[in-house]
Structure 1
Amino acid sequence: MRAALKVVMAAIFAMPAAVALAKSPDCASWPTNMALTHLKNAGLIDIPSVIEAQTKAVRLASEKIGKDLYQQVYDITFHTKDGKTIEVITKSRASSEECSMSAVDVYVVSNKIGGSAEQPSEGTTKK
């Protein structure tokens, strides 16, 4: 009976660790930093002009595609000191050990139409 209790207790304490390992990794910083680099290299943004506190990254999808390998899609919005807003969608692969399991594909959102698309405020551009 005592041995069975030990097995049950060990299983209970092991469950949170197993669940945590199965959870999709939060890797917003990798695609955000790479998107910023790609935007700079394309001449679309000046990094010192970015208001870091206003940068917003929202994970849209995270699909398990292998053992501890996830394909992730983020919607990232950058705001600059001169009032510009630049929005991108990124796609990359991540694991629980490493966010940079692949290069980051960056797609610049040029226009949102229909649905809940917000209208740009005065002085704001969507590129």
Structure 2
Amino acid sequence: METPLLTVIDISGKTAEISDLYKNLPLTFINDHVIRVSVMTQPFYWHLHPNSDESFLVIEGSLLIDLENTTIELLPGQLFTVPKNTNHRTRPGGSKSVNLTFELKDIETIKTDDPEYITGS
């Protein structure tokens, strides 16, 4: 997806009709990074990104970012960056969370609650 230059992106319009339990849509690209909007009503799986940090900005609701030893709660307008190689998962703090995610375009995601990852098989 290439976003034409000088395009206004209506985030509320893009998220208004989403009824999926989890949806992650690319909005625009900036050099080698992508800005995505995610709408979630259920937790995402535990994972890490070996090649990129990942930043979250809450638009609506609240977002819980579970790390191995703590949980970060973000409210609308708050931003948090998960460093690369950090095991984490995201989940809505209530019934629904709408967030912007800023990350490398070719981000690699390793699912860490996968038995193959845990055992190293």
The TM-score normalised by the length of structure 1 is: 0.22
- Greater percentage in helix: 1
Q: Which has the larger radius of gyration?
A: 1
- Greater percentage in strand: 2
